Chains A and B, each alone.
Chain A
Amino acid sequence: MGGVLHRSFFRDLILIVLAFLISVATGILANRLRSDPLPFPYRDRASRLKETGVKDPAVVAMAAAEAAWRSGSAVFVDAREPDFFEEGHIPGAVNLPVSEIKKSLPAGIPSDKFLIVYCSGGDCEDSGVVARALMKMGCRDVAVFAGGWEEWSAAGISR
């Protein structure tokens, strides 16, 4: 009985591998027929936005970000997902995660003001992706605060 079980298990495994290979081959063939085929190899959101000709956003340091926040001369855009935004964010910031980027400018983000986009900090890439998307939507004055929420919260800034 154990031998029968082993045989049927390996037969199932072969069937699964075959079905998987057929699925991938069918997917690749169907992709060739699409009007907007998925690129091969895959290019992430940041590189797709770069290809549209949008220039790199400026980068601001902690001191400049804090000065802009104190004077109210900039609108802060938090590029993290809503759960993280709700746990804590720069006071007055508007939440626009990468997953929420649409073709037109969301409400609450003015195109004629200085926009400072941030994410978690460190090596997070979402602020750059959101900043480029905002520039593509017509916002002229956009910068990335590279230190992000980590640096801001660590500084313990209050009005």
Chain B
Amino acid sequence: MIARILLALVFVSAGVLKLPDPLGVADGMAAFRLLPVWAITPLALGIPIFEMLVGISLFTKRFSRAGALAATGLSLVFVLLYASAVARGLDVRCSCFGALEFFQVSTGAGLARALALLGLSAWVYSRVSRRGA
């Protein structure tokens, strides 16, 4: 229950903090040098709203399993992006939590943060899917 609320708060705050700065989000995504140019604008505009939806769904009983699955999928994407940036020696300061400088950590710390989020998401998903079954 506490882990699910924590995960929900992480995703809602990540989405809310990104909303006012879509250009910063787009620059952050482009810094990974993996996404095609045509995909960056739609993703930069859509991801913050999607993160908020994922977070809100984790507060509900009906959609928490889908929310936890989406959180796991998103976290896995973040891990792969950061791991590839570390492997290529890129210094990426993504606006994962908007323009707040406190959260704009180095690439290695970003990978550690993404791994922690993946672990939390997967754990919450295993709990809520067991309860649902």
Kindly identify, within residues 1 to 57 of chain A, every residue whose CB is under 8 Å from any CB belonging to chain B.
Answer: 1, 4-5, 8-9, 11-13, 15-16, 19-20, 22-28, 30-31, 38-42, 44-45
Q: Are B37 and A23 in contact (CB under 8 A)?
A: no
Task: Give me 24 A-to-B residue pairs in the complex whose CB atoms sit less than 8 angstroms apart, sorted by A's number.
Answer: A1-B133, A5-B133, A8-B65, A15-B63, A19-B50, A23-B49, A23-B50, A23-B53, A24-B50, A25-B46, A26-B49, A27-B22, A27-B42, A27-B49, A30-B45, A31-B22, A31-B41, A38-B41, A38-B44, A41-B40, A42-B38, A42-B44, A44-B27, A45-B27
Which residues of chain B are near A38, meaning CB under 8 Å?
22-23, 26, 41, 44-45
What's the Cα separation between A22 and B53 when bound, in Å?
10
Which residues of chain A are near B104, meaning CB under 8 Å?
99
What's the Cα separation between A5 and B131 when bound, in Å?
11
Q: Is B76 in contact with chain A by the CB < 8 A criterion?
A: no
Q: Are A16 and B27 in contact (CB under 8 A)?
A: no
Q: Is A83 in contact with chain B by the CB < 8 A criterion?
A: yes
B24-62 CB mask vs A (1 if < 8 Å, else 0) is 001100100000011011111111111001100100000
Q: Is A80 in contact with chain B by the CB < 8 A criterion?
A: yes
What's the Cα separation between A9 and B132 when bound, in Å?
11
Q: Are A23 and B47 in contact (CB under 8 A)?
A: yes
Stretch at the interface among B6-14, B66-74, B114-122: B66-74
Which residues of chain B are near A5, meaning CB under 8 Å?
129, 133
Interface of B is mostly: helix
Q: Is A81 in contact with chain B by the CB < 8 A criterion?
A: yes
Which residues of chain A are near B48, meaning CB under 8 Å?
27
Which residues of chain A are near B113, meaning CB under 8 Å?
none
Query: Which one, B30, B54, B93, contacts A42 given CB within 8 A?
Result: B30
* Chain A residues bordering chain B, tally (CB within 8 A): 33
Q: Which 9 A-B pairs have the closest CB atoms?
A: A27-B45, A24-B46, A23-B50, A42-B40, A23-B49, A12-B66, A27-B46, A23-B46, A81-B91
What's the Cα separation between A53 and B26 when bound, in Å?
22
What's the Cα separation between A45 and B63 when bound, in Å?
39
Which residues of chain A are near B69, meaning CB under 8 Å?
9, 12-13, 16
Which one of A5, A15, A23, A41 has the highest number of Cβ atoms from chain B below 10 Å of its Cβ?
A23
What's the Cα separation between A11 and B119 when bound, in Å?
23
Q: Are B41 and A83 in contact (CB under 8 A)?
A: no
What's the Cα separation between A83 and B89 when bound, in Å?
12
Q: Are A81 and B93 in contact (CB under 8 A)?
A: yes
Q: Are A24 and B45 in contact (CB under 8 A)?
A: yes
Q: Are A16 and B70 in contact (CB under 8 A)?
A: yes
**Nearest-CB distance from A49 to chain B (Å)?**
12
Q: Are B42 and A44 in contact (CB under 8 A)?
A: no
**Nearest-CB distance from B20 to chain A (Å)?**
10
